[in-house]
């Protein structure tokens, strides 16, 4: 696996790549812009070029993440337009920064029901991929199922991909906390879960993993990340997931609660220790 964590680009993209390397990351994730806002700046060409050169020099894999505020299933036409325009910019920035994909959460049906929410999401994605014609794939992230979130099952993620006009431009990102909270898997049955994910055409298009423990129990449908081994997935669960051969070569990014980015270092050491038997 290519282990890493979430890194801020507030000091510029080049500085973010330097930080990731300094912390011992093999991959890292960054927000394309302020995660709570739609309006962001276009990528600075100098920073982008500098960052891309550093990625190559250090052999780092970068994963972009769109703002949380985006709802691919919104019934509000104005919000839909703002979301699409925002995501076009996210994908353009991610491409300029050399990211392997841009992660975006599955939509929220906001009371309209799953079927309608799925329809709207597919419609929004079709328009997005018509307007953004670049090379960066959009990676749909599974959700914990808070409120009216779609995407608690892998089946639903696969369904969206198969129903859009350009499925080859859509991939997936799997969050271990969300999947656990949504009861999509149990850590003790991880290999059977991966097997199932392969059989329905999910794992083949999985481009990144968000590695987080969960502050709430299996099936709680709460999206609250815990530090590795300190939540309900626990040490044994984390060891099982991290020992999986299915993680080979995969960017595995921590989004756990930390005070500073340096706090990711001991957690990454812990994760590598759990993984050792497989990669050795
Ligand atoms: Zn996540
Ligand atoms: Zn989350």
- CA–CA gap between residue 64 and residue 41 (Å, rounded): 15
| Spacing of C-alpha 236 from chain mean position | 23
The two structure tokens encoding residue 151: 């995407």
Q: For position 216, what pLDDT does the model report?
A: 98
pLDDT at 80 over 70: yes
Domain count, the chain: 1
Residue written as token pair 């198969």: 162
The per-residue pLDDT for 40 is: 84
How far, in Å, is the centroid of ligand 2 from the Cα of 68? 10
Residue 94, Cβ density class (10 Å: 0-12 exposed, 13-18 middle, ≥19 buried): buried
Q: Which two tokens stand for residue 54?
A: 């550093």
Residue 184 Cα to ligand 1 midpoint, Å, equals: 15
Distance 210 CA to ligand 2 centre (A): 9
Report pTM.
0.97
Q: What is the CATH number of the domain that holds 169?
A: 3.20.20.150
Ligand nearest to the CA of 254: 1
Using the predicted structure, report yes or no on whether residue 280 has a pLDDT greater than 80. no
Distance 133 CA to ligand 1 centre (A): 25
CA 143 – ligand 2 centroid, Å: 7
Return the structure tokens found at 152: 């608690």
Q: What is the pLDDT of residues 211-261, one digit of tens each?
A: 999 999 999 999 999 999 999 999 999 999 999 999 999 999 999 999 999
Task: Give the number of the ligand closest to the Cα of residue 176.
Answer: 1
CA of 158 to the centre of ligand 1 (A): 18
* Structure confidence by residue, pLDDT tens digits, 98-156: 999 999 999 999 999 999 999 999 999 999 999 999 999 999 999 999 999 999 999 99
pLDDT at 279: 64
CA distance 164 to 72: 13
Name every residue whose Cβ is closer than 8 Å to that of residue 159 and which is 6 or more positions away in sequence. 118
pLDDT given for residue 68 in this prediction: 82
The mean of the pLDDT values for the chain is 96
* Domain interval for residue 253: 2-279
Cα–ligand 2 centroid distance for 144 (angstroms): 7
Q: Look up tokens 């992660």; give the residue.
A: 103
Ligand nearest to the CA of residue 174, numbered in listed order: 1
CA of 268 to the centre of ligand 1 (A): 16
User: Please, which residues have CB less than 5 A from ligand 2, an ion?
Assistant: 223
Polymer length of the chain: 280
Cα-to-centroid distance, 75 and ligand 1 (Å): 24
Torsion-angle region of 224 (φ positive above 0: left; ψ -120 to 50: alpha; else: beta): beta
Q: CA separation (Å) from 225 to 17, 156, 254? A: 24, 22, 10
Ligand nearest to the CA of 66: 1
Ligand nearest, relative to CA of residue 172 = 1
């Amino acid at each position: 696996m290519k282990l890493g964590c979430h890194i801020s680009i507030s000091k510029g993209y080049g500085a973010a790549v330097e930080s990731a390397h300094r912390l011992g990351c093999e991959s890292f994730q960054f927000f394309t812009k302020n995660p709570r806002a739609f309006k962001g700046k276009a990528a600075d060409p100098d920073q982008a070029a500098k960052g891309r050169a550093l990625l190559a020099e250090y052999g780092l894999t970068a994963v972009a993440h769109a703002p949380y505020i985006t709802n691919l299933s919104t019934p509000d036409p104005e919000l839909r337009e703002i979301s699409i325009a925002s995501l076009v910019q996210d994908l353009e920035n991610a491409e300029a920064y050399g990211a392997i994909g841009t992660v975006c959460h599955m939509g929220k049906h906001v009371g309209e029901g799953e079927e309608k929410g799925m329809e709207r999401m597919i419609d929004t994605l079709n328009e997005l991929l018509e307007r953004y014609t670049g090379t960066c794939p959009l990676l749909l992230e599974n959700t914990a199922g808070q409120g009216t979130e779609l995407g608690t099952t892998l089946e639903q993620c696969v369904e969206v991909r198969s129903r859009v006009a350009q499925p080859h431009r859509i991939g997936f990102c799997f969050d271990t906390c969300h999947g656990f909270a949504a009861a999509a898997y149990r850590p003790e049955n991880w290999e059977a879960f991966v097997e199932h994910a392969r059989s329905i055409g999910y794992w083949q298009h999985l481009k990144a993993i968000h590695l987080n423990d969960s502050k709430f129990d299996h099936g709680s449908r709460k999206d609250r990340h815990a530090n590795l081994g300190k939540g309900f997935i626990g040490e044994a669960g984390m060891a099982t997931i991290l020992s999986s051969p299915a993680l080979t070569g995969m960017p595995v990014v921590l989004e756990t609660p930390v005070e500073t980015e340096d706090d990711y270092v001991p957690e990454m050491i812990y994760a590598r220790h759990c993984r050792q038997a497989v990669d050795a």
